[in-house]
Amino acid sequence: VRNPMPVLLFILIYLMTMLQIENERELDRILDNLFSEDDAKVEVPLMIPARSRLNMKVFSVPSSMKIGRKCRLHGNIRAGSIDVLEGTVIFGSLRSRGTVSVAGGVTVHGNVESSGKVYVKKGAHILGDVIAKEIFLHEDAKIDGIIEAPHGMHIGWGE
C-alpha cells in the first residue's frame, strides 16, 4: 500500500459502523477506555519548557532535563542540570551549569561537562572526557577520555 490513509480511513469507518458509533465524542470515550491503564502511573512522555531549542544538533533547555529509561538520543544536550536514567544511549555530549547524573547502563558517545558536580554510577560508560568541579565516580563505571576535576574526584561512590 503506497498511501495507507485510505486504508486506515476505511478501517476506522468500518469499526464505527460495526460498533454503531454515531459521534466523535463516543469514539474518543471508547478509545480512552480501551487504552487506559487505571492502575499504572501515567507519565508525561515529553515536556518541552519555554525558551528551549531542539534540532538535529542540539537539545538546549534553560532549566533541568531528565532523560528517561532506554532512550536513544542523537545530538548535544545543554541544560541547567541533566539526569540520564538507565539504559539510555546518547550520541553527543552533555553540558550543564549544574549537576549531571549518569545512571547505570548509560552510554554517552561524547564528553560530559559541568560547572558543578558529575555523578557517574555503576555500569555507565562515557566514551569522551569528563570535566567538572567535582566528580563522583563508581568503581565499575568506565570513562575512556580525560577526567578533570579541580575540586576533587571521589571513586567508589554510590550504587
- 91 and 27 in one domain? no
Residues 148, 111 within the same domain:
yes
pLDDT, residue 37, reads 64
Whether residue 137 lies inside any domain: the answer is: yes
Residues 13 and 80 in one domain: no
pTM (whole model) above 0.85 = no
Quick check: is 127 in a domain? yes
Q: Which domain holds residue 84?
A: 53-155
In a domain, 23, yes or no: yes
Per-residue three-class SS string for the chain: CCCCHHHHHHHHHHHHHHCCCCCHHHHHHHHHHHHCCCCCCCCCCCCCCCCCEECCCEEECCCEEEECCCCEEECEEEECEEEECCCCEEECCEEECCCEEECCCCEECCCEEECCEEEECCCCEECCCEECCEEEECCCCEECCCEECCCCEEECCCC
Residues 60 and 29 in one domain: no
Structural domain contains residue 88: yes
Spatial CA neighbour of 70 closest among 106, 42, 111, 94: 106
Residues 73 and 128 in one domain: yes
152 vs 157, higher pLDDT: 152
**Buried/exposed code over 127-144 (b: 16+ C-beta within 10 A; e: otherwise):** ebbbbbebbbbbeebebe
Higher pLDDT, 29 or 75: 75
Q: Give yes or no: residues 137 and 78 share one domain.
A: yes
Number of domains in the chain: 2
32-82 confidence digits (pLDDT tens):
776 666 655 556 667 778 888 888 788 899 999 999 899 999 999 999 999
Q: Supply 156's cell numbers.
A: 567508589
Say whether both 71 and 127 belong to one domain: yes
Q: Is 85 domain-assigned?
A: yes
Asked whether residue 93 falls in the same domain as residue 148, the answer is yes
Are residues 27 and 57 both part of a single domain? no
Mind listing the pLDDT tens digit for each residue in 83-142?
999 999 999 999 999 999 999 999 999 999 999 999 999 999 999 999 999 999 999 999
Whether 46 is in a domain gets the answer: no
Domain assignment present for 149: yes
